[in-house]
Amino acid sequence: MATHQPLLHLQPPKTSCSKTISTILCFAVVLCSAIFVTNKFIKLNPYENDLPFLHNICHKAYNPSSCIEMAASEFPLSIIKTTNEEHFLQSFLKKSMPKVINTIERAKDLRQRINSPRGEGALDDCIELMEISNGRIMDSVLALKNRTSGSIESSHTWLSSVLTNHVTCWDEVETSLSRAAAMDLGLEELIMRGRNSLGMLVSIWGLEIKNLGELGKRGNGYPSWLKKGDRRLLGVLGREMEPNIVVAKDGSGNFKTVQEAVESVPDKSKDRIVIYVKKGTYKENVEVGKKKKNVMIVGDGMDSTIITGSLNVVDGSTTFKSATVAAVGDGFIAQDIWFQNTAGPAKHQAVALRVGADQSVINRCRIDAYQDTLYTHSNRQFYRDSTITGTVDFIFGNAAVVLQNCKIEPRRPMNNQANMVTAQGRIDPNQNTGTSIQQCDIVASSDLEPVKKSIKTYLGRPWKEYSRTVVMQSRIGDLIQPAGWAEWSGDFALKTLYYGEYSNTGPGSDVSKRVKWAGYHVITSPSEAQKFTVNSLIQGGEWLGPSGASFIPGL
């Protein structure tokens, strides 16, 4: 308001009012003028009388002031006065969708104007992520109308994934092009909208909406979010199934490549589609896109059916697109497969498996690479009886993910590198994401074992500000450093992260010399540890049970 400052400091008139009435009139004129000027040039919040509503709906947001300002600027006062909180959030989400589409159009336009293969790859990633986000926003609107605990929790998951998508897009563009390019795409606003959407959801229904673990628990220790037929499938070998599609290198199946088989799957199938991949090594990159739902890829064993690739960042790929296999279609299952990225440690980021599919299961698989082996990008994921190997940040991403009864094997890294088992990427305190490692073995691989005393290996480090990882009821080998966890950069995230350990065993489980960060916790309460189980973290009681995947629903 500096430009209007002189109007608030008017000089007194040169001639005085000598008579009383003149004095009164002069005073009245000056007073009215002051009131007029004040009202005109000092911006009073037009929503002052409605701030309780806006405060209530935004009080748990990452930045409540930003949430209130954005909410107030997008709706007329009449809407704010007459709507309820739930309808307001749905309307806010609907207003987000055209903005996401606008970012897609900007990304397409920018892609045509640049001559940078790496930049073009980053923009392709963004376009894909934004298209996924738009679908997740619409799904969330529809789920919120149902008002059940399950539908609200699903909305929480999907809106968490939307924010993750936007930040992934920002990271890719900023790294491959520039920060200015990311700003020009409108990503800063989308990220803030994502934060505010989550803030509203959590303000309305609470962060821990409900422990859904008991709602769908089935017998035999299975959670219930997979259908009865899926449960049967996970209990048998691929060659014993009656698959919909067979892949065989020798031509004895329907297709010779896995990607051809995936492309033949009907879009948005409500039925389980089983792709049986016979024994052999398949050198290809496979994408199970967002429309390819309920796909199961099953092999002849984690040592027999191999899908291998070597895309990597050093040779020009983005981290996102370097995955040998990428699964985004919801309901994805992989079983008895060996996923490889053979780029090697000198090629840095090189993903073997990336998963963004909601309610996905990886069962009896091997996932091998070095840096960034397993990209648990977003949504709800469950890993069982699998082996994951790598060096730097080799289990990373921002899904709500539980790994159970898995073997986690740090490998020998390059010289002057340290091993980091996890690098969890939770961006906002309202995201219901995190990595839970339960009843697993964390041990040195065969190439690390002889030199493990000379190489530092940590349970993880914070990739993003609210990184959240828990290791519980697991056996931790002597390769883990006494401090347990490592910094990302200085004191970044050390107060805001949540790292926990509960009831672990083995020579590396001693917590007496662990880091002393504010965000590190030695968990002693079973009720606290319960938050990171299949039932609580990924709502496994709602979808895993009929799948046939063996798992422990609680502690």
Which residue, 540, 547, 550, is CA-closest to 232? Answer: 547
- Six token digits for residue 276: 């049986």
Cα dist. 472→14, 23, 225, 439 in Å?
Answer: 82, 81, 23, 7
**Are 141 and 94 contacting, i.e. CB atoms less than 8 angstroms apart?**
yes
- Sorted by sequence, the CB contacts under 8 Å of residue 59 that are 6+ apart come out as 203
**Are 68 and 51 contacting, i.e. CB atoms less than 8 angstroms apart?**
yes
393 is catalytic: yes
Burial of 219 (0-12, 13-18, 19+ CB in 10 A): exposed
The 8-class DSSP code of residue 115 comes to -
107 by DSSP, 3-state: which?
Answer: helix
- Say which amino acid occupies 268: K
Q: Which residues pair with residue 495 across a beta bridge? A: none
532-545 burial, b for 16+ CB within 10 Å, e for fewer?
bbbbbbbbbbbbbb
- Six token digits for residue 159: 């809106």
Which residue, 162, 198, 209, 211, is CA-closest to 57? Answer: 198
- Six token digits for residue 428: 């906002």
Residue with tokens 């005073």: 27
- Six token digits for residue 355: 């998963």
423 by DSSP, 3-state: which?
Answer: strand
- Say which amino acid occupies 443: V
Task: Spot the catalytic one: 393, 441, 447, 491.
Answer: 393
Distance CA 60, CA 198 (A): 9
Distance CA 433, CA 425 (A): 9
- Say which amino acid occupies 412: R
Which residue, 443, 461, 464, 440, is CA-closest to 532? Answer: 440
- Say which amino acid occupies 374: L
Distance CA 185, CA 189 (A): 9
Residue positions annotated with a catalytic role: 393
